[in-house]
Amino acid sequence: MATDYKITIEKVKSNLIEDISKVGTVNDLKLLDIKYLGRQGEVNQLFKSLPIKENPLIGKDINELKNLCAKLLSEMVDHLLQQPSAIAFDVTIPGIQLPKGTKHLITKAIEDIESIFNQLGFVRRRYNEVETDWYYAEGLNIPKGHPARDDQETFYLSEDVVLTAHTSNGQLHEMEAIKVPPIKMINISKTYRRQADATHSPMFHQFEGLVIDKDINITNLIGVTEYFAKSYFGKDRVIRLRPHHFQFTEPSFEIDISCGLCHGTGKIRDKDCKICKSGWLELGGAGMVHPNVLKNGGLDPEKYSGFAFGWGVERVLMMKSGLSLPDLRLLYTDDLRFLKQF
């Protein structure tokens, strides 16, 4: 039996010496190191295949072989590195430039939006994404059973807890936190809706602006939204207010912005603009804060007034001049071929 195991060990040793004699590069030696000394290498396999528990001398001989392998491989590395042909590169040549990451389009858009509103004195907030029904709907003048709830594609976690489909819940939180206006808040957060197509995603980002003080009116709303539109989209872009209905604002508006492709004409070379078809693109909703919402936030509507607006981050990003995004869902891809464009 002793002779058998020694023959096996000697065979591995003989194979190693033969393999070493054939190598010509350091990379060849690295492969030999894996072949003989790796976790599944031939030397380690001897510990599993030979009866080392029955004869402790077998384990001793295997360890001696292991040390010999390491010694022979190390000596051969030194020998190869001393050869003139071993220097395969010029150490003074600059190394290969590693790829550098950049901020994601959505991250950059959020930073740009926050920066613009900071210039107007708005304070950045981020309120709950999982919310109670009071802050999400009832406190915003949408009681249970109200028809306005039929239009909301909401994820309900329980009867009174939801994943927020809008950032308007931040209005009540901000009023409760400040208590005494003025209030100038921009709430940027994730929102969730049961929608998925070229212009909708189950998860997306919104930014909610809220201004409350004495004598706030629609002209203030127009001034702020126009400042944002020109700062973010370009000085040649203009906005318009279109009457609409939102339960938590009165009066309410849809804010439109002139199309950056056809410059608000609706035509490109006598053909309808494929982007807007009318010269205008819908930016988002806005309006004067409803008196009931002010009351629910603990403020006196006879003393204070305010305006609010809520727009999608991905939406304004897709409408930016010079950026062609045919499908909103591309923003969430991990395909570097797409992301490297930006």
Are 184 and 51 contained in the same domain? no
Percent of the chain's residues with pLDDT above 90 = 36
CA angle 194, 200, 202 (to 5 degrees): 35
> Would 290 be classed as within a structural domain?
yes
Q: Look at the pTM and tell me if it is higher than 0.85.
A: no
Q: Is the pLDDT of residue 138 over 80?
A: yes
Q: How many CB atoms lie within 10 A of CB 199?
A: 15
> Would 62 be classed as within a structural domain?
yes
Q: How many angstroms separate the Cα of 128 from the Cα of each of 131, 135, 190?
A: 6, 10, 9
H or E element, residue 212: strand 203-213
Instruction: HSE, CB side, 13 Å, CA atoms: give it for residue 189.
Output: 25
79 lies in which domain range?
A: 2-86
Are 109 and 63 contained in the same domain? no
Q: Is the pLDDT of residue 299 over 70?
A: yes
Are 269 and 235 contained in the same domain? yes
Q: What backbone phi and psi angles, to 5 degrees, belong to 251?
A: -75, 165
pLDDT digits (tens, 9 = 90+) for 243-290: 998 889 999 999 998 887 777 778 877 888 766 768 888 888 999 999
CATH number of the domain encompassing residue 191: 3.30.930.10
Number of folded domains that form the chain: 2
Are 263 and 115 contained in the same domain? yes
> Would 99 be classed as within a structural domain?
no
CA-derived radius of gyration, the chain: 34
Positive or negative torsion for Cα 184, 244, 299, 219:
positive
> Would 177 be classed as within a structural domain?
yes
Are 45 and 116 contained in the same domain? no
Q: Which candidate, 255, 126, 278, places its Cα nearest to that of 188?
A: 126
Contact 308, 208 (CB under 8 A): yes
Are 74 and 117 contained in the same domain? no
Are 192 and 328 contained in the same domain? yes
Q: Any idea which of 165-169, 171-175, 272-276 has the lowest mean pLDDT?
A: 272-276
Are 59 and 148 contained in the same domain? no
Contact 125, 186 (CB under 8 A): yes
The 3-state DSSP class for residue 31 equals helix
Are 45 and 142 contained in the same domain? no
Are 81 and 109 contained in the same domain? no
Q: How many angstroms separate the Cα of 86 from the Cα of each of 18, 78, 81?
A: 21, 10, 5
Contact 304, 218 (CB under 8 A): no
